[in-house]
Amino acid sequence: MNFVSAHYALFFCAIFVAFWALRSRHVERTVLLVLASAWFYTRFDYGPRHPRIGWLYLAVLFCSAAIDFGLSRAIHEADTSPRALSDAEWGTRRRKRLLLISIVYNLGVLAWFKYTNFGIDTARHLLGALGVHVSPRTLSIVLPIGISFFTFETMSYTIDVYRRELVPPRGKGAFLEYLLFISFFPHLVAGPIIRPKDMLPQLRRDPVFDEGRASEGMFLIATGLLKKVVIADYLALNHVDRVFDRPEWFSAPENLAAVYGYALQIYCDFSGYTDIAIGSALLLGYVLPKNFDSPYKSRSLQEFWHRWHISLSSWLRDYLYIPLGGSKGPAWKTYRNLMITMLLGGLWHGASWNFVVWGALHGAALAFTRMWQRRAGASDPPVRDPRAEVLKGVLTFHYVCLAWIFFRADGFARARMMIRQIFLGGWHVANLSRGVALVIALGFVSHLLPDDLYQRARRGFSSLPAPAQGGVLFLVALLVKKVASAGVAPFVYFQF
């Protein structure tokens, strides 16, 4: 099941009615959402060879939640145990060991499912380079959907307890609330990555239906559907996929249009999914964090990562970059920390050297930006030249697009071929349809419009009577159905 389907619409309507009927009954309401989330998770299609594997992966999810919940309790209690009160060093060692168990377990599970075959293949190539030939062999491992997201969420809970930023709740319903925090279906399979301190307090309170939030939720669902199907899927199915599959068959402008199209596709696909997720949660009375903020308006890579996949970039900052030392110490350590963070961020996206290169490109650019800021004196208020700001925006966007080539291409050979074609290919545009060019143009124009126009549209929608809002959402659904008649592309970030 995915958000762009009639099944999800029917599923959500049923949950919406049942949820608000139980709004004052905390345990029953929580059980309803946990069961609904479990059913939602098992509905994803892993192919005919794995018809029931969703239930196995649901067990993986629940097992991770149970282990980290128990370890977090033990970490918290290590400070107050009789022995810890008399021997502080013993308590500190115990807390560190328990945290290490959590980290090793979670990263071990993630590594097994996501990186085992990558490691086998890499080792085979290294042995081949040394003259030792090993026959190609991979294990039949199917990646659980959303594992990278829920692994980071459950790890953040344990780490926050270790840092004494969070106190594990007690009571009969505490684990059930925690399980819902991890498995809540709007953000379960593709984020945004939720922090426990933001979500758990909401789950403990009885929800209050707010018409303003509900209107905003419907508006986000409508815009998310338009982004996903009308822009992202249209570009993927009508131009981007075929060019990235065979870049040598297409001219320079056609390859360049595919790169621009992919930049728009991945943004509209992921931010569209996030809009639907946040909108669905708002209709149930819960607030999920903002995950995108017009990233292609950025004038530096640093700003880009404040606007793109905000929940991931902030997670990497708080749980990886700062623990490594952040910006403290000598300049070279800052650059090292940025490179390590972005390399691991690239590897988080997938088991491929292409993602490592993508992360390296961003890490190198962030390190260069930080070096430039230090030499130019970033503490002084800059004098902004409008023309220079536009130039910085254009350069940043094209650097992001260069990195997207390695992110999307199926191997280095395809990436190199696409870059070669962009500079050395012919100039015909026979394979670039007017529809694709128009969607790319409209997509970027709408993306670059002032934020005030978006807010005015949202307020205008919210001011409509409820039946009119429902009518608008119904018209959007009809448009989506018509555009999606040629097929719906899977959400890009489901693979991560």
Contact indicator for 149, 82 with CB cutoff of 8 Å: no
Q: In the numeric block, which tokens belong to residue 470?
A: 């429902």
Q: Is 181 left (phi over 0), alpha (psi -120 to 50) or beta?
A: alpha
Q: Which member of 187, 239, 349, 447 is catalytic?
A: 349
Q: Is the peptide bond before 192 cis (omega within 30 degrees of 0)?
A: yes
Q: Which long-range contacts (CB under 8 A, 24 or more apart) does 6-12 make?
A: 7/43, 9/477, 11/36, 11/40, 12/280, 12/283
∠ at Cα 7 (278, 469), nearest 5°?
Answer: 50
Contacts of 263 (CB under 8 A, 6+ apart): 296, 397, 400, 401, 404
Contact indicator for 157, 178 with CB cutoff of 8 Å: yes
Instruction: Give the whole-angstrom CA distance, residue 291 versus residue 192.
Output: 6
- Please confirm, yes or no, whether 349 is among the known catalytic residues: yes
∠ at Cα 359 (358, 360), nearest 5°?
Answer: 90
Stated as kind and residue range, the H or E segment containing 393 is helix 386-408
Of 240, 164, 289, whose CA–CA distance to 432 is shortest? 240
Residues recognised as catalytic: 349
